């Protein structure tokens, strides 16, 4: 059976959640679900990356503050060194949760939001362009580790929204 040609969100132990149609295609395209080995390799690799960066920032917070765009540095309510220490703490926390395989979807969500913020305040440069790949990995981890209960809630909200639109159009 052919896979649907629409945008899909990969969700472990559930199947393919089709964003365009709002339904589960359980059993179809099962080869698209991230297999456990690749999931764990990606999870551990990103955990090490976040732990390493967190430690590096802790060692030299003032040096890492230099990557902030001046307009972003001026918006900080605390000195740049303190902001970088907070960033290091968040990076290490993300790394720890990924490494111990606990609350992976939350760690990946926070990591993805953090990387988006990094790209916004630093701009896309020769160095930060790598963050786009790391961001994609975090989104993949998040999508693959979302709890079924959350997916079910999103699906019910989507169906309610689609149902009310159809009623209003009639």
Residue ranges of domains in the chain:
1-33, 35-155
Please list the ranges in the chain whose pLDDT falls under 70.
1-34, 163-170
Q: How far, in Å, CA of 85 to CA of 98, rounded?
A: 20
Question: What pLDDT is stored for residue 158 in this prediction?
Answer: 80
- How high is the pLDDT of residue 148? 82
- Residue 124: its pLDDT value, please? 87
Q: How would DSSP label each residue in 35-94? A: PHHHHHHHHHHHHHHHHHHHHHHHH-HHHHHTTS-HHHHHH-SS-HHHHHHHHHHHHHHH
Q: What is the pLDDT of residue 4?
A: 42
pTM of the complete model beyond 0.75 = no
Q: Say what the pLDDT of residue 101 is.
A: 92
Residue 160 has what pLDDT?
79
- Residue 164 confidence (pLDDT): 53
Predicted pLDDT at 74: 92
What pLDDT does residue 14 have? 42
What pLDDT was estimated at residue 111? 97
Packing angle between helix 104-122 and helix 129-145, nearest 10 degrees? Answer: 160
| pLDDT at residue 16, as a whole number | 47
> Which residue has 């999870």 as its token pair?
43
């Amino acid at each position: 059976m052919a896979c649907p040609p629409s945008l899909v969100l990969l969700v472990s132990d559930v199947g393919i959640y089709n964003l365009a149609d709002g339904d589960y295609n359980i059993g179809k395209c099962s080869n698209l679900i991230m297999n456990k080995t690749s999931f764990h390799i990606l999870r551990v690799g990103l955990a090490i990356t976040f732990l390493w960066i967190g430690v590096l920032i802790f060692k030299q917070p003032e040096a890492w503050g230099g990557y902030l765009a001046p307009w972003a540095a001026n918006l900080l309510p605390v000195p740049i060194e303190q902001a970088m220490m907070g960033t290091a703490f968040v990076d290490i926390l993300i790394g720890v949760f990924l490494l111990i395989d606990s609350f992976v979807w939350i760690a990946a969500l926070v990591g993805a939001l953090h990387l988006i913020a990094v790209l916004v305040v630093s701009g896309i440069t020769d160095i930060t362009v790598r963050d786009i790949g790391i961001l994609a990995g975090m989104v993949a981890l998040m999508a693959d580790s979302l709890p079924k209960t959350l997916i079910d809630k999103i699906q019910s909200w989507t169906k309610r929204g689609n149902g009310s639109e159809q009623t209003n159009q009639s």
